[in-house]
């Protein structure tokens, strides 16, 4: 018997809109989403013991699917697994199509820090963003492999997207598609229409989809209440119950959202601009060579100048 394995995977990256895109595509009648968003089947090769779980366990997350054209999952940790994960995915899912979202690495780092500060007890709540950046840079400069101890400080490593791209292109070729977060945020329906066409499903459905933003990081008044909300948002509680989740989320934001936004120090952004600039230029060149056009500001030569002028 043929196991119901995914035919489309959102493979990365975290805090770049993967939850929202998973939600958008899951509304298409020809796409069946996994019973939980992040199965993380292949992360055993990059963050675990190197042994994949039984394939039947993976297929079990799609047992509710019928005759839809695609079965979809989204585990944003996959992309940074590099060649090891790309090769294993290609062998296990020979016809799969892979989507990766990329976002300005500085904005992504900032969003991840704010998210982790409320979610992880082992990240000191009083740690400043500047101190967090210093520790992330130190972990990168020491060339440390992934460990449970340094996992919270590897986010900056994942922003050097050009260092991870080649194995995915080699493994999947035309079955690999990059979506830029900034374009999706500004043109959600057009993004889903393009992806639907690429996936071979009706692109006109894009006009009927609910484009509410999922998994948004916002400043909060109470971190304890934030942790409680995150606990309730797990897949087996509210994660897949959207009719109930929508009103509860509005009520939560009304109670716990802090009006004044967090701010990143300008000198910290300038330092990060300099750190990421070479990789961003290399990535922009690769993307243009692959036919990607209308790149966002962080992928242009004067991205840093534009950002500083805006502030």
Tens of pLDDT, residue by residue over 200-234, are 999 999 999 999 887 665 555 555 565 566 566 55
d(CA 220, CA 238): 20
Residue 306 has pLDDT above 60, yes or no: no
3-state secondary structure at position 8: strand
- What pLDDT score does 116 carry? 84
Work out the pLDDT band at 144, boundaries 50, 70, 90. Answer: confident
**Phi then psi for 143, rounded to 5 degrees?**
55, 45
- What pLDDT score does 78 carry? 98
DSSP-H helix ranges across 145-302 = 162-172, 181-186, 188-199, 223-232, 242-256, 266-289
- What pLDDT score does 121 carry? 59
Work out the pLDDT band at 124, boundaries 50, 70, 90. Answer: confident
Fold type of domain 8-219+261-310 = Rossmann fold (3.40.50)
Locate 172 and state its tokens: 């999947």
Residue 12 has pLDDT above 70, yes or no: yes
Task: Pick 110 or 233 by higher pLDDT.
Answer: 110
| First-to-last C-alpha distance (Å) of the chain | 59
Work out the pLDDT band at 92, boundaries 50, 70, 90. Answer: very high
List, in sequence order, every residue forming a beta bridge with 257; answer none if it has no partner.
Answer: 220
Task: Pick 61 or 258 by higher pLDDT.
Answer: 61
Nearest to 118 by CA among 238, 216, 265: 216
Q: What is the pLDDT of residues 37-46, one digit of tens each?
A: 999 999 999 9
The residues, ordered by sequence, that sit 6+ positions from 201 with a Cβ below 8 Å of its Cβ are 28, 30, 31, 69, 70
Work out the pLDDT band at 290, boundaries 50, 70, 90. Answer: very high
- What pLDDT score does 199 carry? 98
Mean pLDDT (whole number) for 147-160: 91
- What pLDDT score does 311 carry? 44
What is the layout of strands, in order, in the sheet containing 176-180?
31-33, 70-74, 8-12, 97-102, 176-180
Q: Exposed/middle/buried for 66, CB within 10 Å: 0-12, 13-18, 19+?
A: exposed
- What pLDDT score does 224 carry? 58
d(CA 185, CA 214): 11
Distances (CA, A) of 231 to 59, 113, 119, 153, 291: 26, 18, 10, 22, 41
Min mean pLDDT across 77-86, 214-223, 284-293 is at 214-223
pTM: 0.84
d(CA 305, CA 147): 36
Domain residue spans of the chain: 8-219+261-310
Mean pLDDT (whole number) for 191-199: 98
Distances (CA, A) of 52 to 5, 40, 58, 59, 151: 14, 10, 10, 13, 20
- What pLDDT score does 148 carry? 83
d(CA 139, CA 206): 42
- Element holding 73 (H helix, E strand): strand 70-74
């Amino acid at each position: 018997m043929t196991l119901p394995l995914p035919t489309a995977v959102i493979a990365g990256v975290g805090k770049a809109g993967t939850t929202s895109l998973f939600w958008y595509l899951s509304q298409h009648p020809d796409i069946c989403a996994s019973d939980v968003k992040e199965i993380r089947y292949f992360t055993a090769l990059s963050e675990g013991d190197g042994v994949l779980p039984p394939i039947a366990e993976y297929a079990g997350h799609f047992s509710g699917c019928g005759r839809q054209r695609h079965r979809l999952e989204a585990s944003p940790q996959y992309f940074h697994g590099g060649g090891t994960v790309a090769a294993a995915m290609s062998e296990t899912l020979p016809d799969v199509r892979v989507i990766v979202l990329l976002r300005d690495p500085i904005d992504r780092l900032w969003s991840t820090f704010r998210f982790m500060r409320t979610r992880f007890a082992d990240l000191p709540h009083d740690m400043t963003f500047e101190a967090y950046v210093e520790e992330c840079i130190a972990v990168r400069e020491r060339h440390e492999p992934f460990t449970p101890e340094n996992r919270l400080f590897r986010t900056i490593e994942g922003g050097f997207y050009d260092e991870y791209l080649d194995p995915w292109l080699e493994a999947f070729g035309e079955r690999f598609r990059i979506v830029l977060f900034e374009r999706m945020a500004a043109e959600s329906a057009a993004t889903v229409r393009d992806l639907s066409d690429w996936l071979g499903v009706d692109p006109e459905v894009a006009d009927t989809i609910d484009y509410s933003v999922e998994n948004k990081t916002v400043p909060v008044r109470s971190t304890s209440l934030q942790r409680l909300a995150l606990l309730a948002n797990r897949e087996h509680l509210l994660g897949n119950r959207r009719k109930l989740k929508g009103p509860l989320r509005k009520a939560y934001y009304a109670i716990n959202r802090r009006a004044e936004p967090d701010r990143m120090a300008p000198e910290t952004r300038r330092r990060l601009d300099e750190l990421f600039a070479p990789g961003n230029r290399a990535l922009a060149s690769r993307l243009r060579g692959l036919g990607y056009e209308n790149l966002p500001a962080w992928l242009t030569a004067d991205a840093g100048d534009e950002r500083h002028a805006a502030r």
